[in-house]
């Protein structure tokens, strides 16, 4: 069936609520209001208040409740109105959810999903446009995923709900309206820790995740018209990370460019570059290219916002530099 990214997420949550009585949704304005980005539209009417819980505006409280519920056997799916707001719950996510299994010697697990829009939307300004996935991928005890297609969003969210570890599941707002095919099989899942090879090539490797993986595909198609063969790796699972697929591709093409929407300085793309440098140095014919967001608070004005977000033209320019 063909669904939008938004609808694929909703179907995944619907499937899991119907499959497992321990699964429930919790968050701000997800019930009667149906979610800021309408991902939970219709779910309150379908499953009622026992399975779709509206909460006060308190991210630490929401994540704290969900963490406790997960410790006693429930499987909460927490919606953050924007992943930028998860900053308020960093203590609950990092100091508690991520560490409880380790600090209790394995006596407790925290099967919880924290999901929501991460990255720039359209003029949501500085406090609503963070790309948080790199922050969370720094933390042992968490799993962090950033799917780019409706199929991956569907399969990976179902995997996240069934996982016994806390999962941070980030969805770029620019993907919600993207359409794609998802399987009819309600048991379809996609395992974490495995990249997707979106296009095979021999001249250069383009590496991205979330919406930037789609930008890599656009650039690969443009390069193909010029006779340049680009391989596209969609990371999609940041933690655990499938380094092997990335290294195999770079060792084959001998050149790489990493694209990510997060601030360029210290973003997850810098980790990818470091790993490639460590493991593929003898195979590289050029320095690894890196394209990230500008290191400034996100402006409100649309023309300035677009300058801060990595674009197809930015990636093309870096690819030409790396190939030269």
Same domain, 152 and 201: no
Mind listing the pLDDT tens digit for each residue in 127-164? 999 999 999 999 999 999 999 999 999 999 999 999 99
Q: Tell me whether strands 23-27 and 75-79 are parallel, antiparallel or unpaired.
A: parallel
Domain count, the chain: 2
Domain that holds residue 284: 196-323
Vertex 211: Cα angle to 209 and 212 (nearest 5): 60
| Tokens matching residue 315 | 């990636």
In sequence order, what are the residues at sequence separation of 6 or more whose Cβ sits closer than 8 angstroms to the Cβ of residue 58?
Answer: none
| Burial per residue of 236-263, b for 16 or more beta-carbon CB atoms within 10 angstroms, e otherwise | bbbbebbbebbbbbbbebebbbbbbbbb
Average pLDDT over residues 278-283: 97
Whether 138 and 107 map to the same domain: the answer is yes
Of 181, 205, 224, the last residue of a domain is 181
Q: Which two tokens stand for residue 69?
A: 């519920």
189 part of a folded domain: no
pLDDT band with cut points at 50, 70 and 90 for residue 122: confident
Residue 23 in domain: yes
The domain that holds 242 is classified in CATH as: 3.40.50.920
Answer yes or no: do 242 and 298 share one domain.
yes
Is 153 contained in some domain? yes
Residue 84 token pair? 């930028």
- 105 part of a folded domain: yes
Residue 265 has pLDDT above 90, yes or no: yes
- On whether residue 71 sits in a domain, the answer given is yes
Tokens 């340049």 correspond to 228
In a domain, 188, yes or no: no
Q: Are 151 and 204 in a shared domain?
A: no
Residues shown for the chain: 324
CA distance 165 to 185: 24
Domain contains 12? yes
The CATH number assigned to the domain holding 71 equals 3.40.50.970
CA atoms within 13 A on the CB side of 195: 24
Q: What does the pLDDT read at residue 64?
A: 97
User: Could you tell me if 132 and 209 lie in one domain?
Assistant: no
Tens digit of each residue's pLDDT (9 = 90 or more) over 92-103: 999 999 999 999
Q: Is residue 190 part of a domain?
A: no
End of a domain among 158, 181, 204?
A: 181
Burial (CB < 10 A; 0-12, 13-18, 19+), residue 277, is middle
Task: Tell me the per-residue pLDDT of 229-249, one tens digit each, with 9 for 90 and over.
Answer: 999 999 999 999 999 999 999
The per-residue pLDDT for 65 is 97
* Residues 218 and 278 placed together within one structural domain of the fold: yes
Same domain, 177 and 207: no
- Cα separation, 277 vs 256, whole angstroms: 10
Query: Rounded to an integer, what distance in angstroms lies between the CA atom of residue 3 and that of residue 135?
Result: 30
User: CA-to-CA distance for 215 and 209, rounded, in angstroms?
Assistant: 9
Q: What is the mean pLDDT of residues 13-35?
A: 95
Of the listed 28, 59, 231, 261, which one is catalytic?
Answer: 59
Looking at residue 38, what is its pLDDT?
94
Please say which residue of 151, 181, 211 terminates a domain. Answer: 181
Q: Are 170 and 130 found together in one domain?
A: yes
Alpha helices in 92-210 (DSSP H): 100-103, 133-136, 150-162
Same domain, 212 and 117: no
> Among residues 128, 130, 133, 231, which one is catalytic?
128
pLDDT tens figures, 194-214:
999 999 999 999 999 999 999
Q: What is the pTM of this model?
A: 0.95
User: CA 224, 233, 290 angle in degrees (round to 5)?
Assistant: 85
Q: Which helix (H) or strand (E) holds 29?
A: none
Same domain, 156 and 252: no
Give me the helix-helix angle, 5-19 and 150-162, nearest 10°: 30
HEC-encoded secondary structure of 180-218 = EECCCCCCCCCCCCCCEEEECCCCEEEEECCHHHHHHHH
- Is 59 designated active site? yes
Strand pairing category for 23-27 and 237-239:
unpaired
Phi-psi region of 128 (alpha: psi -120 to 50; beta: other; left: phi over 0): alpha
Q: Are residues 174 and 229 in the same domain?
A: no
Q: Are residues 62 and 114 in the same domain?
A: yes
């Amino acid at each position: 069936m063909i669904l939008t990214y938004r609808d694929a997420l909703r179907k995944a949550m619907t499937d899991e609520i119907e499959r497992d009585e321990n699964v429930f949704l919790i968050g701000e304005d997800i019930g009667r209001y149906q979610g800021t980005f309408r991902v939970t539209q219709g779910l309150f009417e379908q499953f009622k208040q026992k399975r779709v819980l509206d909460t006060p505006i308190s991210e630490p409280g929401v994540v704290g409740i969900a963490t406790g519920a997960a410790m006693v056997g429930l499987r909460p799916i927490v919606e953050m109105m924007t992943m930028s707001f998860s900053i308020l719950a960093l203590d609950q996510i990092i100091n508690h959810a991520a560490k409880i299994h380790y600090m209790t010697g394995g006596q407790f697990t925290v099967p919880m999903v924290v999901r929501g829009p991460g990255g720039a939307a359209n003029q949501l300004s500085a406090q609503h446009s963070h790309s948080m996935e790199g922050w969370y991928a720094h933390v042992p005890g968490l799993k962090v995923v950033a799917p780019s297609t409706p199929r991956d969003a569907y399969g990976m969210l179902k995997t996240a709900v069934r996982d016994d570890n806390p999962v941070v599941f980030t969805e770029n707002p620019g993907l919600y309206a993207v359409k794609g095919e998802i399987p009819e099989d309600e048991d379809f899942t996609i395992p974490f820790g495995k990249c997707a090879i979106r296009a095979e090539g021999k001249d250069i490797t383009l590496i991205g995740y979330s919406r930037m993986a789609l930008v890599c595909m656009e650039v690969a198609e443009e390069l193909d018209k010029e006779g340049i063969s680009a391989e596209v790796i969609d990371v999609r699972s940041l933690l655990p990370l499938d380094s092997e697929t990335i290294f195999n591709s770079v060792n084959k093409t001998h050149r790489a460019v990493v694209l990510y929407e997060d601030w360029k300085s210290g973003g997850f793309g810098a980790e990818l570059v470091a790993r490639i440098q460590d493991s593929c140095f003898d195979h590289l014919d050029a320095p690894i290219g890196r394209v990230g967001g500008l290191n400034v608070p996100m402006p409100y004005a649309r023309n300035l916002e677009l300058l801060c977000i990595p674009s197809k033209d930015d990636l093309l320019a870096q690819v030409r530099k790396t190939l030269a």
